[in-house]
């Protein structure tokens, strides 16, 4: 039982070949676009790689780049094939090429769809990576004299200013770490000694935030220190003050930014996927309708085109058989195969 049989008179075949040629060049441009979108996403992820703990999310742009490059090749061959399709003398040489070509093309087209699905599925992984990375960044903020960590302060400051956020979940994360280095603390002062004695680890904790948390939209000059103490500042109420510092956490800000970027890219990649799919379907119809013409004297007869000769399951088995026998052949004992083959055939 053939899947999606359609009749193709000569004129329709000609129109199909011409339309497919145009479509395959559009799809080539679309493939190049996919590649560049992958590069864009990769660049953006690498810019903030210091606040990410692992690189798991990089699989999305890597897949997009691979698929973009592959689709350039796929569509190049598609245009070549449909150029030769209407010429009965040149079409047969593509015969053996087409079966593996369709297998490879379907694989990469499905991979494109997978990349879009992954970009949504990996949101959780991105969040936990950012959570760990930002926690380290905040912890090592004061270590500007330690090699390997000396740029954490600058990174976190610029990040908070650019994304208009403060801390990991919110600004209170800064209350829990010592972000002022011991080099700048006067240990003979009473205030410093009190604060260090007030907690178990002997850390200098303040209810204050770095300057990069300050919100320029605030009508009053920024209040950074003694944030929880209403009497420390004139006309200040800790509970109701909203504009003084950024209330959003940097993890949320970065996740929103990257999800927005991947959603936009996802929409583009989905349309490229549809375009690529239509190229492959049209090519299959062209191939099957032209194969029926081969050997006939009158090349202008009406033929039938179809998507799959057998049903979906049987076609999948047909494609998987060579792969499976190739894999199983390594494990099979040779005497066993020679004994079995006369029985099966």
Would you tell me which residues interact with another protein (CB under 8 A)? 144-145, 150, 153-154, 157-158, 161, 179-181, 183-186, 189, 210-212, 214, 216-217, 219-222, 224, 233-235
Which CB sits closer to another protein, 33 or 155?
Answer: 155
**Least distance in angstroms from the C-beta of 141 to another protein:** 9
Our CB check for another protein shows the closer of 150 and 316 to be 150
Residue closer to another protein (CB basis): 88 or 180: 180
Give the Cα separation of 281 and 270 in Å (integer): 16
Q: Say how far apart CA 239 and CA 257 lie, in whole Å.
A: 28
Q: Minimum CB separation from another protein for residue 207, in Å?
A: 14
Report in angstroms the alpha-carbon separations of 69 from 39, 66, 72, 271: 12, 5, 5, 17
Q: Minimum CB separation from another protein for residue 11, in Å?
A: 39
The single residue listed with the structure tokens 């929103």 is: 256
Nearer to another protein, 192 or 308 (CB): 192
The burial of 303, by beta-carbon neighbours within 10 Å (0-12 exposed, 13-18 middle, 19 or more buried), is given as buried
Q: Judge whether 179 and 141 are in contact, CB under 8 Å.
A: yes
Half-sphere exposure of 268 (CA within 13 A, CB side): 19
Q: How far is the CB of 187 from another protein (least distance, A)?
A: 9
243, 244, 250, 255 alpha-carbon torsion, rounded to 10°: 10
Is 120 or 211 the residue whose CB approaches another protein more closely?
211
Residue 237 Cβ vs another protein, minimum distance, rounded to whole Å: 13
Q: Report the run of H or E that residue 116 belongs to, with start and end.
A: helix 95-121
Backbone angles phi, psi at 245, to 5 degrees: -125, 165
Q: How many CA atoms lie within 13 A of 46 on its CB side?
A: 9
Beta carbon of residue 205, minimum distance to another protein (angstroms, whole number): 14
Q: How far is the CB of 268 from another protein (least distance, A)?
A: 26
Pairwise CA distance, residues 282 & 12, whole Å: 12
Pairwise CA distance, residues 277 & 292, whole Å = 23
- CA 175/CA 82 separation, integer angstroms: 67
To the nearest whole angstrom, how small is the minimum distance from the Cβ of residue 301 to another protein? 49
CB nearer to another protein: pick between 164 and 278: 164
Q: Which is nearer to another protein, 21 or 238 (CB)?
A: 238
Distance CA 236, CA 238 (A): 6
Asked if 134 and 251 touch (Cβ cutoff 8 Å), the reply is yes
Kindly tell me which of 41 and 213 has the beta carbon lying closer to another protein. 213
The closest of 303, 197, 213 to 250, measured between CA atoms, is 213
């Amino acid at each position: 039982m053939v899947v999606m049989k359609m009749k193709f008179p000569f004129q329709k075949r000609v129109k199909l070949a011409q339309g497919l040629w145009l479509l395959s060049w559009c799809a080539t441009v679309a493939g190049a676009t996919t590649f560049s979108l992958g590069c864009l996403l990769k660049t953006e992820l690498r810019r903030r790689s210091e606040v990410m703990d692992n690189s798991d999310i990089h699989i999305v742009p890597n897949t997009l780049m691979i698929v973009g490059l592959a689709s350039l090749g796929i569509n190049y061959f598609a245009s070549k094939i449909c150029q030769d399709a209407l010429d009965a003398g040149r079409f047969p040489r593509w015969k053996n090429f087409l079966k593996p070509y369709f297998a490879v093309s379907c694989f990469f087209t499905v991979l494109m769809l997978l990349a879009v699905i992954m970009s949504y599925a990996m949101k959780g992984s991105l969040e936990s990576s950012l959570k760990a990375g930002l926690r380290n960044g905040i912890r090592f903020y004061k270590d500007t004299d330690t090699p390997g960590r000396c740029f954490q302060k600058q990174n976190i400051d610029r990040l908070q200013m650019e994304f208009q956020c403060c801390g990991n979940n919110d600004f209170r994360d800064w209350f829990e770490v010592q972000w002022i280095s011991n080099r700048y603390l006067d240990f003979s002062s009473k205030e410093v000694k009190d604060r260090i004695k007030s907690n178990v680890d002997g850390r200098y904790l303040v209810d204050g935030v770095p300057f990069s948390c300050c919100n320029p939209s605030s009508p009053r000059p920024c209040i950074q220190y003694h944030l929880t103490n209403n009497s420390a500042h004139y006309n200040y109420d800790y509970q109701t003050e909203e504009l003084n510092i950024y209330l959003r956490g940097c993890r949320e800000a970065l996740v929103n930014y990257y999800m927005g970027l991947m959603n936009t890219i996802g929409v583009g990649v989905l349309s490229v996927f549809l375009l690529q799919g239509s190229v492959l379907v049209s090519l299959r119809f062209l191939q099957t309708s032209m194969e029926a013409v081969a050997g006939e004297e009158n090349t202008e007869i009406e033929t039938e085109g179809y998507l799959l000769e057998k049903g979906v399951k049987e076609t999948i088995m047909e494609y998987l058989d060579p792969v499976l026998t190739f894999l199983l052949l390594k494990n099979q004992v040779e005497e066993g195969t020679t004994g079995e083959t006369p029985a099966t055939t």
